Structure 1
Amino acid sequence: MDIQDASAAKSASSLHASGAETPSGKGAGDENFPVGSVLLPAHLRPVIASFYGFARAADDISDNPSLSPSEKLERLDVMDQSLLHADNTTRGGELARMLAEQGHDVRHPRALLNAFRQDAEKGRYASLEELHGYCRMSADPVGRFLVDLHEGSPDAGAKIYPYSDGLCTALQLVNHLQDCGKDFMTMDRCYLPDAWLAAAGASHSDLYGKELTPGLRAVIDRVLDDTDAQLALAAHLPRALTSRRLAMESEIIIRLARRLAQRLRVGDPLATRVKLTKLDFLVAGITGAVSGFFFGGKGRLPDGEST
């Protein structure tokens, strides 16, 4: 055990993982996209729900305005330690046990914790590359977790990661755009690249406004251009998977993400919350499920290689 692990273990003795949590009251129903839907195999839904619950609890800590950065880091370290002890007395321990029963380790939830640690201390991103680095920690592990779970192992899923990463990064980007004003005003965070803001003649203070300035609109459109590129990569995911159920789920989420990106192209996230409608969910659900059922789950990569 190194010094950092020893320190976290000491904190864990005085701050039990359940006591580290600061629940926001949000749940799966508050998400833009399906979380553990009925399309996924019934025997995997409990561990998916456990993973989501762990991620939500950690996210709530990093977003809590009443905690100092050091307090957030301490609580996140306690949650990290809980993952290393597979018992049912903590949220992390329960998740670790359930993952072990499926033959998986805790690499993906631990990767998420690194994103939440970063959120505790960092509120600005200099470039798109830096923002992508954040997405690799905050979003991509979720897709990799689902791929591993359905494909059977990290070795089996590794070839599919680039496409699940594309989808998860796209989802993270549109979420940042939806909440750009709220994130800045409530947590002093801005995920719009500083270099792009400067190039467009915009500034962070523009996010205090009640509507987008031309400069902010230009930056958001550039982020949406990257979102479209990520979704083009993600389009290969349903066919690359061998799980037809996850292929159907992925196809639906891809279609929802495209629709939300389209809405953000014409909507103003400072003036109102730009969100999906019930009709959007219905159309994406039907067309995505049908497409995923007939064309997904083939285990085929874009170059024709089999996964």
Structure 2
Amino acid sequence: MQAFSKPVTTPASVTLAHTHYENFPVASVLLPAHLRYAVSVIYQFAREADDIADEGDASETERLQALQAYEDELLLIQAYIQAERPLFKTLQHVVHSHKLEVQSLLDLISAFKQDVVKTRYADFEELLDYCRRSANPVGRLMLQLYAADTSQYRQWSDQVCTALQLINFYQDIAIDLQKHGHNGRIYLCQDEMQAAGITEQDLRDERLDSAWQAFFLYNVARAEQLLLAGKPLGRHLSGRIGFELRMIVAGGERIIYKLKRCRGDIYRHRPTLRAFDWPIILLKALFKQ
């Protein structure tokens, strides 16, 4: 099963992506130097755990056992008992040094476990609950690292992180269908699909008629509303974290723009950020739009 890596000793390269652990602005040059190591360690933990849930050919039981081992280590950290494995000893130091909530890390493990066993979501409440554990902890950990963890900031951060997670779902509809065996994963709400007359076979057949386009754009618009609701966070946070957050939000807005333009044809036109998108994103972040 997934091997534990050596403790992180150098920062990871800068990334901006929108899935699970990749919501982290990993060791970005925008981060203060004293936080880059901490972010890199948390990123390594989250990436390894996510890979256990998603990568390789391990059985469902093996994946769950490996993730339970990660959870057990986190519970040791939470109880102020010495962690046993190298990565978690390093993570324990980061958690205690920065007074981070271990529950946020436990929530990530809960989401990764769910990815192993759950491939369908009955309604939007179920999907939001998954986002609460798979995406929102990332923003909360960053707020804690920056000593900016207020109730209002958490609300805005949760809205941004949930929106980014939803955006990624819509980018990866075709990719997720290939995961978890022949069933695939579908992060669209089953009740809404049924009401719109959209079936799972329609997704596999790459349906692109007006009914699918309307359903797809409805979902994108809902994610956009969440992103806009959390957008004030980037204007209220000062310094590097505010700029970093505005870059992330502007990147999300750019993907939304491309999702709208493709009008549901994410099978042949999966929206991604390209070189020419970054000047647009930078300008929006600089002028606090």
In which range does the TM-score fall when normalised by the shorter chain?
0.7 to 0.9
Give 2:177's aligned amino acid.
F
2:27 to 28, 32, 36: 36
**Could you tell me which residue of structure 1 aligns to residue 255 of structure 2?**
260
Contact 1:197/1:216 (8 A) holds in 2:
no
What's the offset of the Cα at 1:171? 0.6
TM-score (norm 1): 0.80
Contact 1:124/1:194 (8 A) holds in 2:
yes
CA distance in 1, matches of 2:202, 2:177: 10
**Could you tell me which residue of structure 2 aligns to residue 271 of structure 1?**
268
CA distance in 1, matches of 2:120, 2:96: 37
Alignment of 1:284 onto 2:270: no
Give 2:276's aligned amino acid.
L
Contact 1:164/1:234 (8 A) holds in 2:
yes
What's the offset of the Cα at 1:237? 0.6
Alignment of 1:225 onto 2:221: yes
**Could you tell me which residue of structure 2 aligns to residue 139 of structure 1?**
135
> In the comparison of the two structures, how many residue pairs are matched?
268
Contact 1:148/1:157 (8 A) holds in 2:
no
Contact 2:101/2:141 (8 A) holds in 1:
no
CA distance in 2, matches of 1:70, 1:195: 29
Gaps (5+ residues) in structure 1?
Answer: 1-14, 20-25, 293-307
Correspondence 1:22-33 to 2 at 5 A: 29=15, 31=17
Contact 1:125/1:191 (8 A) holds in 2:
yes
CA distance in 2, matches of 1:141, 1:215: 35
Correspondence 1:138-287 to 2 at 5 A: 138-151=134-147, 156-187=149-180, 188-210=184-206, 212-241=208-237, 243-267=238-262, 268-287=265-284
Identity across matched positions, percent:
32
TM-score (norm 2): 0.84
Give 2:219's aligned amino acid.
V
CA distance in 1, matches of 2:283, 2:199: 41
What's the offset of the Cα at 1:36? 3.2
Contact 1:96/1:105 (8 A) holds in 2:
no
SS at match of 2:161: helix
What's the offset of the Cα at 1:30? 7.7
Gaps (5+ residues) in structure 2?
Answer: 6-11
CA distance in 1, matches of 2:191, 2:42: 35
Give 1:18's aligned amino acid.
F
**Could you tell me which residue of structure 2 aligns to residue 22 of structure 1?**
none
What's the offset of the Cα at 1:204? 1.2
**Residue 47 and residue 213 in structure 1: after superposition, are their counterparts in 2 closer, same or farther (change >3 A)?**
farther
Give 1:274's aligned amino acid.
P
CA distance in 2, matches of 1:275, 1:112: 25
Contact 2:2/2:48 (8 A) holds in 1:
no
Give 2:41's aligned amino acid.
S
CA root-mean-square deviation: 2.5
CA distance in 1, matches of 2:48, 2:252: 24
CA deviations on 1:68-104 (whole Å, 9 max, x unpaired) are 2222111101111223355584323322211211222
Give 1:282's aligned amino acid.
P
**Could you tell me which residue of structure 2 aligns to residue 128 of structure 1?**
124
CA distance in 2, matches of 1:145, 1:170: 17
